[in-house]
Amino acid sequence: MVKTVHGLFIVLLLGASAVSASTLGEPGSEWVDLSYDYSQDTIYWPTAAGFELRVESKGPTDAGYWYEANSFRTAEHGGTHIDAPVHFAEGRNSVDEIPLQRLMGPAVVVDVAAQALANRDYQATVADMTRWEETHGALPAGAIVLLRTGYGRYWPDAERYLGTAERGPAAVAKLRFPGLHPEAATWLVAEREVNAVGIDTASIDFGQSKGFETHRILAARDVPVFENVANLGRLPERGTHVIALPMKIKGGSGGPVRIVALLPAR
């Protein structure tokens, strides 16, 4: 009974037409965590303070039981996190205002690792998207498009992941990592109905971007963005479903997000 209720709950989250309770309970189905943990090693933008966990209590109490409690400090945009549309578009959704249906859907993995590993300034193109469609058919409505650049292999080495391990404003000009080209972002929101876009780098705009055009294009259409997405190499290019639930920060421009993907049984 518990298993059935759990399956029905996930069906409601993902959409009854997307996945069945029997699929969820089928031997061989698998959940994949697409999130990095938060620690002193977590990568942040060069101008943002990193993650800090402060131990408030840890040990046996006078009453004889064990008790642990911590506090933590983090910038909104670091580690595996969400960019709410308001991050780059005035008046658009903050984290707490993003509709739940935008945070889940069929996952589409567009693999540009060959190009991106050869060129740190690579920007995924419309041609990369249409090439995916030539193989798999049109992007499904409500898709979460995930760009696999291959840079997840460098985490948490900031020098290799970001292009620089330096900190502070001067380091921003030295960022070198791939992203999504503004023309491809325009195509995704104008020609297809996508719920969200994610990438396995620190920004959906490539590291050398000065105007963050891709962010602005997606944000203007209330499309949230997931950055520093982990383990994309474990997902096929189609056939999985994603749930990405961020910390519900009222008025937040972003925040930590736990992203999971459901791989059906083979």
Residue 116, sorted as left (phi over 0), alpha (psi -120 to 50) or beta, turns out to be: alpha
Mean of the per-residue pLDDT values of the chain: 92
- Calpha distance 110→177 (Å, rounded): 17
Q: Which amino acid, residue 52?
A: E
* pLDDT level of residue 24 (50, 70, 90 thresholds): low
List the beta bridge partners of residue 32.
261
* pLDDT reading at 16 higher than 80: no
Query: In DSSP terms, which residues pair with 109 in a beta bridge?
Result: 146
Higher-pLDDT residue of 26 and 223 is 223
**pLDDT exceeds cutoff 50 at 61:** yes
Q: Is the peptide bond before 256 cis (omega within 30 degrees of 0)?
A: no
Whether the per-residue pLDDT at 92 is higher than 60: the answer is: yes
**163-183: average pLDDT:** 98
pLDDT given at position 26: 67
Residue 4 has pLDDT above 80, yes or no: no
Geometric angle at alpha carbon 186, from 181 and 190, rounded to 5°:
155
In the beta sheet, which residues pair with residue 147? 110, 199
Question: Which residue, 261, 260, 262, 255, is CA-closest to 98?
Answer: 255
Which pTM value belongs to this model?
0.90
Which sign, positive or negative, has the C-alpha torsion 225, 227, 230, 236? positive
Q: Which CATH superfamily is domain 2-48+76-263 in?
A: Putative cyclase (3.50.30.50)
CA–CA gap between residue 4 and residue 20 (Å, rounded): 11
Phi (first) and psi of residue 160, to 5 degrees: -85, -35
Percentage of the chain lying above the pLDDT 90 cut: 88
Separation CA 159–CA 17 (nearest Å): 43
pLDDT, tens digit (0-9, with 9 covering 90-100), for 224-241? 999 999 999 999 999 999
Percent of the chain with pLDDT over 70: 90
Is the separation of the CB atoms in 175 and 123 below 8 Å?
no
